[in-house]
Structure 1
Amino acid sequence: MPKVVDVDQRRGEIVDATMRLIARGGLGAATMRDIAAEAGWTTGVVNHYFADKRELLRQTLQQSIRRRVASRSHTEDTPPAQRLRDELAAALPLDEEGRMHWLVTAAFLSQAAGDAELATVQRDAYRAFRANVAALVEATDGVDAATARERAEQLIASIDGVAMQAMFDPESWPPQRQLALLDAALGAD
């Protein structure tokens, strides 16, 4: 009897291996051979689950984004101001998972500059994030939609700047400093 394989699980294992390689060495480190070795499979297995490297890379970026979205923990009972802080804090590289997401994102940013498909994935993720943050700003501050969007853009720009610095200089930007800057940004008018 042939072994039943969970296709989503196997694809997930391969994507996870790809994320680890990219986080350690950038997109150049993610060769099909190295991805297969990192995942514990052959290149034939990787090729069976992904049409080509491009599809695998797109899925890797999308999975990294999905995981960050899923890591945001709050309930509808949580006050909007706390949900706003939680949403922005979840976007910072406060732990290894957050750091890996940022390393993968940074690697894909340069690639997306010349790749319309990857640029669309990045753009859509930012649009969704901005819309969510703007809705929380609107609920927290009682401002109109245009003002909330502008404030959301300012907050996201601050968070992105902190994240980039923390990624490359974690000693100067430990989690408590990242969160202190977030709190200062939230307190600023």
Structure 2
Amino acid sequence: MPKVVDHDARRLELVEVTWRVIAQSGIDGATMREIASHAGFANGALKPYFASKDDLLAASFQHVFNLTNERTERSTKDLSGLAALRAFCHEVLPLDEDRILEARIVVPFWQKALTDPEKAEQHAQDMNQWRTRMLGYLQQARDEGIITKPIVDIQVVRHLLSTTMGAQVMAVLYPAEFSPAQQIEALDAYLAML
């Protein structure tokens, strides 16, 4: 009797292996052979699931994005307004080893998205989702009377996205100089100005 394979579970397993290999070895060191070896498969066994390393990278980025969204859902569940916005940003910032590993996936994905329209569209959709959530938290904070500065909310969101995404780059390139405490201090200083 042939072995029954759960293809969705296998794809997820390969994605999890891929993002850890990329995080350790970089995008260039994460060959299909290396990923297959870490997953315990023969090199050709990846082809039915992902046609190329670029497909694996896109799936790995989406996996990291989904993990971040799961964390933000949990951390903002009982919060609103500015507290929810702060908690949301904390989950995006690379404040621990797992989130730094995630940043090591995000950064090479951005490089690919510069020249690949599909990846650029994937990223744009994901960022639109985050913008919507952040704008909602800002509106709640205004409704609660917590934010009083007459600054346009989309400008606040753009600043926070630049800050959190920039922190991912800095944490990957300069981990010793860009500590979690410094990231939180910078975020809190900006939010206090609102």
- Same fold by TM-score greater than 0.5: yes
Partner Cα distance (1:180, 1:129) in 2: 22
Residue in 1 aligned with 2:101? 100
Pick closer, same or farther for the CA change 1:120–1:71 going to 2, 3 Å: same
* Counterpart amino acid of residue 44 in structure 1: G
Structure number with the bigger relative contact order (C-alpha 8 A, sep ≥ 6) is 2
1:158 aligns with 2:168: no
Distance of 2:77 and 2:68 partners within structure 1: 19
1:119 aligned partner: 120
Q: Give the deviation of 1:99 after TM superposition.
A: 0.7
2:131 counterpart letter in structure 1: R
Partner residue of 2:181 out of 159, 173, 176 = 176
1:59–1:148: structure 2 CA closer, same or farther, 3 Å change rule?
Answer: same
Residue ranges of structure 2 left out of the alignment (5+ in a row) = none
- Structure 1 stretches (4+) deviating beyond 3 angstroms? 51-54, 74-77
Alpha-carbon distance in 1 for matches of 2:176, 2:51: 41
- Report if aligned partners of 1:135, 1:148 keep a CA contact under 8 Å in 2: no
Which residue of the partner structure matches residue 27 of structure 1? Answer: 27
Q: How many residues align?
A: 187
Q: Deviations over 1:78-124 (max 9, x none)?
A: 23221111101101111122111111110111111111111111111
Structure 1: stretches of 5+ with no match in the other structure: none
1:43–1:126 CA distance, 2 compared to 1 (3 A): same
Residue 110 of structure 1 aligns to which amino acid in structure 2?
A: Q
Cα contact 1:89–1:179 (8 A) shared by 2? yes
Distance of 2:176 and 2:23 partners within structure 1: 18
1:143-186 deviation digits (Å, cap 9, x = unpaired): 7xx92222111122122223322222222222122111111111
Matched, 1:81 2:82: yes
TM-score (norm 2): 0.87
2:17 touches 2:35 (CA, 8 Å); kept in 1? yes
How far the C-alpha of 1:76 sits from its partner, in A, is: 4.5
Equivalents in 1 of 2:165, 2:55: separation in Å? 27
Distance of 1:114 and 1:20 partners within structure 2: 24
Whichever residue aligns with residue 168 of structure 1, its letter is L
Percentage identity across aligned positions?
A: 30
**Cα distance 1:75–1:53, how it changes in 2: closer, same or farther (>3 A)?**
closer
Which of 169, 172, 192 is the aligned partner of 1:167? 172
| Structure 1 residues 38-57: aligned runs within 5 Å | 38-57=38-57
Q: TM-score, normalised by structure 1?
A: 0.89
- CA RMSD, aligned part only? 1.9
Contact 2:80/2:137 (<8 A) preserved: no
Aligned to 1:17: 17
Give the secondary structure class of the aligned counterpart of 1:97.
helix
Contact 2:58/2:109, CA 8 A, preserved across alignment: no
